[in-house]
A and B are shown apart, each in its own frame.
Chain A
């Protein structure tokens, strides 16, 4: 009996030790794996570095083709973009694509995946959330094919890792400053006013033409892509004061908190705006898609899809579909802005 106990105990210890050891080995190898695989991919990326922008501008025009053709090969044929072998072999697209990352881009990517799979019956596209950082780390480690991100990879990943990823800008998303509906009389704020509010200098709405009501700042977490974009373009990179702002995990909770908290101010992507919050202008310009397109409204960013190195034929076909004229109505319906409609591409 005792002997049995001892052997059982010993086996538990040995087994768990072994597991822990493999765990220890697995963890560093996971981090070292990308560096090992970067070697072959760095070469193509450095040469194809300008291509992402090229594909962005050329694709919308060229991809009228996929609508007419049921034969999927036509989709790959017109790509002037970085497909390594631009051969028009009549092989239907097949395979599996896994995409994950930004939750802001997720609904749109999901919609694109559904439609893309309807066009190409042999293709399976999976879209997951997880956050921009998670999407970028996963595409970098090779766990997924496409990493969705609200921000440039260089903002999240170490420089050497970010260099191995190829950026594909798929749409534009605008962000609006939102107020609790109880804050009346404020229809637009200037950059200086916003900076003053978010750094905690202005603390009452009556300083900016509103009622005598304390300002309650509601932030996204410091790692959020939405917050990053807002800080960069609305606050001109001013460091938001910590310790005076509530933080909400997601855009959905930001909206409900702003709607229910008197004096609240926050920021939301256009896709999250509804009647429960008041969206206000920036420097006198209303937060509308048209103002983003013509370049007068400055708070917007690109949504990115990153691939590890040059995209495969399948990846490229999906990326092309995302920016195609076929898909543009869906982008508009979900309150994003197709890149093809932007008259300015820089802030």
Chain B
């Protein structure tokens, strides 16, 4: 493009340059700005709606965050969301604990042990996992997992355990893909140096590659956690939505997303009850932002490591 074939000039605007550079660049920039704006707009909307609980309805933020008393329909309503917050944290953390070992192992296998089999069989399988709609996970959980837990471990079947298992399956592909990418991104020098020192393949993977890929794996874990926190439908179908903090794994519980989806349509806009649900949504968004920030900082560590 050093010598463009023609140079039509309209006033001060170079038409050739406009058509072949500005138009495309402008379009792409426009879409980018639109999306960035949309994100901010949603955040702003959620903030306005969510904060009205505290500013308009005068619910104390401390009560919202730290009280377990949830009785929005009582004569003197109480809006403590701690049970839901704890429920969300427990289910997501447990899902992560179940999922991470599987994910990292699978990533190691796909990226290091058998890239061929990994590419041909495991990678497509993981991609299929991503594509399964969450209602399907929930439905399978409800019709297979819940009765299984009821028979094997007692209780009602609807439980913290059921929710965590379903979620673990759902975040597995996210963590695996990102962890596998982290392994693949490592320079070949690492492997060769390790082999040159006489290490076996497992020693190389375990002692050299795993620590080196750790920041990338952590990014995957954090993004998996973010997904787990925000997942609503599948979890809601299997945790039983019992408004209490679970005492054991087979107890039913409830989380933030479930109470939002259950009550959102049935409460009227502008009522304190409805506003509190918005506050919970805002809380979810803030947690998600926090996770993304965390994922980005761990990602940056990787870059500085190189």
- Chain B neighbourhood of A244, CB < 8 A: 242, 244
Stretch from A38-46, A52-60, A127-135 at the B interface: A127-135
Given A23-B45, A133-B265, check contact A242 B273 (CB 8 Å).
no
**B262 in contact with A247 (CB, 8 Å):** yes
Contact of B270 among A16, A158, A216 (CB under 8 A): A158
Q: Which residues of B contact A246 (CB under 8 A)?
A: 156, 158, 240-242, 252
A17 to B, closest residue via Cβ: B40
**Closest A residue by C-beta to B83:** A243
In Å, the complex CA distance between A246 and B158 comes to 8
Instruction: List B21-43 residues whose CB lies under 8 Å from chain A.
Output: 29, 33, 36-38, 40-41, 43
Please, which residue of chain B has its CB at the minimum distance from the CB of A16? Answer: B40
- Is B88 positioned at the interface, with any CB of A under 8 Å from its CB? no
Whether the Cβ atoms of A157 and B271 lie closer than 8 Å is yes
Contact with B along A85-118 (1 / 0, CB 8 A): 0000000000000000001000000000000000
Residues in B with CB closer than 8 Å to A222 are: 72-73, 263
**Chain A contacts for B156, CB-based, 8 A:** 216, 246, 261
Contact A249 B267, CB 8 Å, known A12-B36, A15-B37, A24-B44: no
Given the complex, which residues of A lie within 8 Å of B100, measured CB to CB? Answer: none
A223 within 8 A of B: yes
Given contacts A16-B36, A242-B71, contact A247 B254 (CB under 8 A): yes
Residues 185-219 of chain A, each 1 if its beta carbon lies under 8 Å from chain B, else 0: 00000000000000000000000000000001000
Tally of contacts, chain A with chain B, CB under 8 A: 125
- Is B269 on the interface with A (CB-CB < 8 A)? yes
- Name the interface size band of chain A: 35 or more
Which B residues lie within 8 Å of A225 (CB)?
266
Residue of B nearest to A224 (CB): B266
A76 interface contact, C-beta 8 A: no
B173 at the interface (CB under 8 A from A): no
Contact A20 B40, CB 8 Å, known A8-B29, A137-B270, A156-B271: yes
In the complex, the answer to whether B266 meets A223 with C-beta atoms within 8 Å is yes
Task: Tell me, yes or no, whether B76 is within 8 Å of chain A by CB.
Answer: no
Chain B, range 15-65, C-beta contacts under 8 Å to A: 29, 33, 36-38, 40-41, 43-45, 48-49
Give the CA-CA distance A244 to B246 in the complex, in Å.
11
Residue A245 at the chain B interface, CB threshold 8 Å? yes
Name the CB-closest residue of A to B267: A133
**A residues in contact with B45, CB < 8 Å:** 23, 27
- The answer to whether the Cβ of B243 comes within 8 Å of any Cβ in the partner chain is yes
User: Does the CB pair B72–A12 fall under 8 Å?
Assistant: no
Q: How far is the CA of A181 from the CA of B229 in the complex (A)?
A: 36
**Nearest residue in B to A19 (C-beta to C-beta)?**
B41
Closest approach, in angstroms, between the C-beta of B236 and any C-beta of chain A? 7
Asked if A137 and B269 sit within 8 Å, CB to CB, the answer is: yes
> Contacts A12-B36, A239-B74, A243-B243 known; A221 to B262 CB distance under 8 Å?
yes
For A133, the chain B residues whose CB sits under 8 A away are 265-269, 271, 274
Q: Which residue of A lies closest to B52 (CB)?
A: A27
A184 on the interface (CB 8 Å rule)?
no
B247: shortest Cβ distance to chain A, in Å?
Answer: 11
Does A260 belong to the interface (CB within 8 Å)?
yes
Q: How far is the CB of A108 from chain B (nearest CB, A)?
A: 18
Instruction: Give a binary string over B253-290; 1 marks a CB under 8 Å from any A CB, 0 the rest.
Output: 01000010111111111110110000000000000000
Interface string of A251-277 (1 = CB under 8 A from B): 001001100110000000000000000
Which residues of B have CB within 8 Å of A260?
146-147
A216 cross-chain contacts in B, Cβ below 8 A: 156
B66 at the interface (CB under 8 A from A): no
CB neighbors of A among B52-102 (8 A): 70-74
What are 7 A-B interface contacts by the 8 Å CB criterion?
A8-B33, A20-B41, A20-B44, A31-B270, A131-B265, A133-B268, A134-B266
**Does B157 make an interface contact (CB < 8 A)?**
yes
